[in-house]
Amino acid sequence: MSTPGFAPNTLDDEGFPLWISGLEHDDPNHCVHVVKGLEPAEALEALGAKSRLFRPCELPDHKPERMSLPQAALGAAMGDASAALLAGRIGEWTFVYDDFGATDEVAALSADGRVAAMSYFSINADASLLYCVDGEEVLWVNVDDLVLETDLPEMPPELRAAFEAAGTVPADYLEPGEADFAVCMRAISALAGVYTLDDLRRIPLLVTPFG
């Protein structure tokens, strides 16, 4: 398998985890945060969301056209906000999905000795991952500059294992073994152990408008 950490039918045709594809807008400009040892409500607050707007969430069965699934879950409560944030915890890790890429407080998530990371992907195919420990940036990975053979050995062990699990997906624009644009989203999914929308439907979720 070119993506050894991912079971069959967990990735879309471009190599993005299906749980992320299932949440996103049709033209995604979004990010995923993960943090170890922090509850979902605390993670949302660390990213700047207002606790009075948090609400429990059950994801809709289908994604309406031109909306993300978190936006659909908010319905009228979305109001004029630019983004919808969805948060939940699986094991030691909490994830926050931001459907508009409006949050970037990764260092704040990692305060007090925690580990946190954010994977970002834009409509212009800007793809990156930021990894922070104890309030400090440890590593920023820009997919355009990522050379897996030489860069992986220099990564922190936990992050290196996540990128090894993410592997590579062949594409016409790549040489064999080159990093594809979806690798950071796979790595952050592997880091936190989130793989399918069913994983999300089995846990309590919070959703909130943002911005």
* 152 part of a folded domain: yes
pTM for the complete prediction?
A: 0.97
- pLDDT score of 162: 98
| Cβ–Cβ under 8 Å, residues 185 and 119 | yes
Cβ neighbours of residue 43 closer than 8 Å, sequence gap 6 or more:
33, 35, 87, 94, 96, 109
Structural domain including 26 reads: 18-210
Cα–Cα distance between 190 and 73 in angstroms, integer? 25
Task: State the burial class of residue 69 (Cβ atoms within 10 Å of its Cβ: 0-12, 13-18, 19+).
Answer: buried
- pLDDT score of 183: 98
Q: How far is CA 114 from CA 73, 97, 170, in A?
A: 30, 19, 34
* 72 part of a folded domain: yes
* 153 part of a folded domain: yes
Number of other residues whose CB lies within 10 A of the CB of residue 29: 18
Q: CA 145, 132, 112 angle in degrees (round to 5)? A: 175
* 13 part of a folded domain: no
* 29 part of a folded domain: yes
Q: Report the number of distinct structural domains present in the chain.
A: 1
* 6 part of a folded domain: no
- pLDDT score of 1: 64
* 5 part of a folded domain: no
Q: Give me the tens of pLDDT residue by residue for the chain, a chain 211 residues long.
A: 699 999 999 999 999 999 999 999 988 999 999 999 999 999 999 999 999 999 999 999 988 888 999 999 999 999 999 999 999 999 999 999 999 999 999 999 999 999 999 999 999 999 999 999 999 999 999 999 999 999 999 999 999 999 999 999 998 889 988 999 999 999 999 999 999 999 999 999 999 999 9
* 42 part of a folded domain: yes
| Cβ–Cβ under 8 Å, residues 105 and 111 | no
DSSP-H helix ranges across the chain: 18-23, 40-46, 69-74, 106-109, 148-151, 157-166, 183-192, 197-201
Q: How far is CA 144 from CA 32, 195, 201, in A?
A: 19, 24, 34
Cα–Cα distance between 148 and 192 in angstroms, integer? 20
